[in-house]
Amino acid sequence: MSFLVAITRLAEAAQSDEGRGAEAATLAPLVGTGAYELRVMLGGGAPLVVASTPDAQLARDLVVTLRSRGHGAIACDGDAVTRGEDMFSPRGFAFEADALTSEGPTGEPARFAWSDVLALVVATHVRSETTTVETSKKSLSLGRAAMTGGLLLSKTTHKTEHRANEEREPVLYMLHRQGQGHWLLTESRLRYGGLGPRRGPAAHDNFRALLDMLRRQVPGALYDDRLLTQKRAAGSLQMLGAAKARTLARSNAGETDLAAHLLAVGHVQQQL
């Protein structure tokens, strides 16, 4: 088991560049990282994990220290973070008096009761791919043929080409009060018939309308959209390809899953 210690709200003293530098210098020895690295992390905004430890008491002590310095801070079990790929991702949906409903993966009814909604966290999943393609081309070389007495008539030219592509996908984490049974709503995946007369031709506008309707249904739940624009670190995945065509894919989905969880825990503990 690993306990994550996170800052969920920066202290007022750490809002400026100068303040972040001083705060990083003080906290770095406590959390076991370099002052410069921590300063950069603080500049990215909360929530951010500053330490990971198997020692529950150490995690609690770090939280006490962070809160005493004016930060919102929490500790949570890293194994309790639900990955987005393990959440239910509906396609169609319908608004009922007491729940948002959909159809499960095998056709069974799926319900998310309004009373069970802890948080609505809006975010952007970013996936980028960089493909490196190596090609070789043989061509006739009269000059080379003359120099070698006709023994070598061609030359080989090698070329390396890099291609980059990025996809951005707005998503909504509907987080359950019980810590399981979360839903992940993806803008491009949804069918918007459940919006009724508010449905329009553009998925982006429909997604915003859905967010508005959900907020009206659960006014007591946390609504947070900072992850729409806040950059999250992207993990890397080396994708196997042909010997001369390699693709490196990066996605921030895992870090965004974690950030959504931290916001929910921070909300419950009144640390946002």
Q: Indicate whether 210 pLDDT > 60.
A: yes
Structural domains of the chain, with CATH: 3-80 (3.30.1390), 84-129+164-268 (no CATH), 135-163 (no CATH)
Q: Indicate whether 224 pLDDT > 80.
A: yes
**Strand spans (E) along 89-204:** 94-95, 99-103, 109-113, 117-140, 154-176, 183-186
Reading the block at residue 13, the tokens are 């003293």
Reading the block at residue 138, the tokens are 């043989």
* Dihedral angle of Cα 1, 226, 35, 72, to the nearest 10 degrees: -70
pLDDT in tens, 24-53: 999 999 999 999 999 999 999 999 999 999
Q: Are 94 and 110 in contact (CB under 8 A)?
A: no
Could you tell me which residues are beta bridge partners of residue 175?
119
Closest residue by Cα to residue 241 from 168, 140, 92, 132: 132
The DSSP line for 38-66 is HHHHHHT-SSEEEEEES-HHHHHHHHHHH
Give the up-direction half-sphere exposure of residue 235: CA atoms within 13 A in the CB hemisphere: 9
Q: Are 100 and 91 in contact (CB under 8 A)?
A: no
**Which residues lie closer than 8 Å to 201 by C-beta, 6 or more apart?**
none
pLDDT of residue 152: 57
Q: Enter the pTM of the model.
A: 0.86
pLDDT of residue 147: 60
Segment among 42-51, 131-140, 215-224, 252-261 with least mean pLDDT: 131-140
pLDDT in tens, 62-96: 999 999 999 999 999 999 999 999 999 999 999 99
Closest residue by Cα to residue 23 from 228, 31, 200: 31
